[in-house]
């Protein structure tokens, strides 16, 4: 049994290619990839995205997971060595929404920007706050991120200026991928979560904090977010995450009935943020205020449609301790408390040449350690 987090309890899906194989669907097992098109022959395995497989629905997802598990358990099929594959964006992204579901993160941000006011705005504990992002700039792990440019205005400046972002940040997140859509005019309840969501990825919603600060009032994030969002190449099936389910946090206000379903889909995940190979934070996902099921219910409660390939993010994951903060905005407390690295250098926000990496694990069936892999990106200087 593999001991690297990619054993039988996990079996995440991805899209890979080699010099002699066009992009197709595979499953990670140990240090190799099982070519599903070669092993089983279904057309939805011989495509360059997971969308066709995801659209088949939960009955097919469960059947194929059982068939893959049986094949790997009963004999040793030929695997493609992981070092020989190129990983691709696993899905064709239909739409993208990012939430703001960590009470610790939202409270930290409130204290940084509104130190003399209540950290959380009145609506926060009643609904999963979110914004509508840009699907065309979602990229797979390993893609370099060009520092964005835009308008910024400091509190002492008389007028805005244009130039490269100076407060480039990461956001440690978990992303949920919709497999089965729903028509416009209906709604998906939290109880139907597992019939619609195929699986989860790690997500980094790169953020230009200075651009964001100037633009976000009154309509919220736009160019400070839309330049890039990275996701991990391996999609962990929701079925693999069943053993990681845990109870939701205590609530200080009652939720409306449509948000009470899906409370049992809180997840115990261990996340880790690295900067240039050094771990700087370990945010715990089980502290999140809203679950992925509640986010889905809120996303569709107004009758918005769902599509195969929709992606929604949890928002930055942060815990109650200083070393559990999932962004440099929090780790450096708005830039006022620089983070000192092992080599003696300091960071408030990301510098050109920095590489940020997010990793995640959970305990799967039989107590097996399971891995999401990683999502990583290196910062390049601003264009032009």
Q: Using omega within 30 degrees of 0 as the cis cutoff, is the peptide bond preceding 218 cis?
A: yes
Q: Residues 284, 138: one domain?
A: yes
Q: Residues 233, 125: one domain?
A: yes
Q: Residues 77, 144: one domain?
A: no
Q: Residues 50, 182: one domain?
A: no
Instruction: Tell whether 289 is covered by a domain.
Output: yes
Question: Of 307, 336, 2, 331, nearest to 170 (Cα)?
Answer: 331
Instruction: Tell whether 59 is covered by a domain.
Output: yes
Instruction: Tell whether 166 is covered by a domain.
Output: yes
In sign, the C-alpha dihedral spanning 350, 355, 51, 371 is negative
Per-residue pLDDT tens digits for 66-120: 999 999 999 888 999 999 999 999 999 999 999 999 999 999 999 999 998 999 9
Contacts of 322 (CB under 8 A, 6+ apart): 331
The pLDDT assigned to 312 comes to 98
What single DSSP character describes residue 144? -
Q: Is the model's pTM score more than 0.95?
A: yes
Q: Residues 242, 351: one domain?
A: yes
Paired tokens of 160? 């805005």
Q: Residues 72, 109: one domain?
A: no
Q: Residues 266, 349: one domain?
A: yes
Which CATH number is 24's domain given?
Answer: 2.30.30.230
The pLDDT assigned to 302 comes to 97
The answer to whether the CB of 45 falls within 8 A of the CB of 56 is no
Q: Residues 106, 200: one domain?
A: yes
Q: Residues 201, 110: one domain?
A: yes
The pLDDT assigned to 76 comes to 81
Q: Residues 193, 293: one domain?
A: yes
Q: Residues 373, 313: one domain?
A: yes
The answer to whether the CB of 184 falls within 8 A of the CB of 305 is yes
Instruction: Tell whether 364 is covered by a domain.
Output: yes
**Regions of the chain with pLDDT less than 70:** 1
Q: Answer with the one of 88, 104, 131 that is the final residue of a domain.
A: 88
Instruction: Tell whether 8 is covered by a domain.
Output: no
Instruction: Tell whether 6 is covered by a domain.
Output: no
The pLDDT assigned to 154 comes to 86
Instruction: Tell whether 310 is covered by a domain.
Output: yes
The pLDDT assigned to 245 comes to 97
Q: Which domain holds residue 66?
A: 13-88
Instruction: Tell whether 245 is covered by a domain.
Output: yes
Q: Answer with the one of 58, 88, 118 that is the final residue of a domain.
A: 88
- C-alpha to C-alpha distance for 267 and 250, rounded to whole angstroms: 15
Q: Answer with the one of 88, 121, 139 that is the final residue of a domain.
A: 88
Per the structure, how many domains does the chain have? Answer: 2
222 is catalytic: no
The pLDDT assigned to 1 comes to 65
Among the listed residues 105, 126, 132, 298, the single catalytic one is: 105
Which CATH number is 137's domain given?
Answer: 3.90.850.10
| C-alpha dist (Å) from residue 372 to 142, 272, 305 | 15, 11, 28
Q: Residues 158, 259: one domain?
A: yes
Backbone dihedral region for residue 3 (phi beyond 0: left; psi -120 to 50: alpha; all else: beta): alpha
């Amino acid at each position: 049994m593999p001991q690297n987090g990619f054993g039988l309890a996990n079996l995440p899906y991805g899209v890979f290619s080699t010099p002699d194989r066009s992009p197709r669907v595979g499953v990670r097992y140990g240090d190799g990839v099982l070519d599903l098109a070669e092993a089983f022959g279904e057309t939805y395995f011989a495509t360059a995205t997971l969308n066709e497989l995801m659209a088949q629905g939960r009955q097919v997802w469960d059947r194929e997971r059982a068939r893959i598990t049986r094949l790997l358990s009963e004999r040793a099929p030929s695997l493609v060595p992981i070092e020989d594959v190129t990983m691709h964006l696993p899905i064709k992204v239909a739409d993208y929404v990012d939430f703001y579901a960590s009470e610790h993160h939202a409270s930290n941000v409130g204290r940084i920007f509104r130190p003399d006011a209540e950290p959380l705005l009145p609506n926060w504990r009643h609904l999963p706050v979110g914004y509508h992002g840009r699907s065309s700039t979602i990229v797979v792990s390993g893609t370099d991120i060009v520092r964005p440019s835009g308008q910024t205005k400091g509190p002492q400046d008389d007028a805005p200026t244009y130039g490269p972002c100076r407060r480039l940040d990461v956001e440690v997140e978990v992303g949920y991928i919709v497999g089965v859509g729903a028509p416009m005019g209906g709604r998906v309840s939290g109880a139907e979560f597992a019939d619609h969501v195929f699986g989860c990825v790690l997500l980094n919603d790169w953020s230009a904090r200075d651009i964001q600060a100037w633009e976000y009032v009154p309509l919220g994030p736009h160019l400070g977010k839309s330049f890039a969002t990275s996701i991990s190449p391996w999609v962990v099936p929701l079925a693999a995450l069943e053993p990681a389910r845990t109870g939701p946090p205590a609530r200080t206000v009652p939720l409306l009935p449509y948000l009470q379903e899906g409370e049992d889909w809180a997840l115990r995940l261990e996340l880790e943020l690295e900067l240039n190979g050094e771990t700087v934070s370990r945010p715990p996902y089980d502290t999140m205020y809203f679950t992925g099921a509640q986010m889905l219910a809120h996303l569709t409660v107004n009758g918005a449609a769902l599509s195969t390939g929709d992606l929604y993010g949890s928002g930055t994951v942060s815990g109650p301790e200083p070393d559990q903060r999932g962004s440099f905005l929090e780790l450096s407390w708005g830039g006022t408390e620089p983070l000192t690295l092992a080599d003696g250098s300091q960071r408030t926000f990301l510098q050109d040449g920095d590489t940020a990496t997010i990793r995640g694990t959970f305990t799967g069936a039989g107590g097996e350690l399971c891995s999401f892999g990683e999502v990583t990106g290196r910062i390049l200087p601003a264009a032009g």
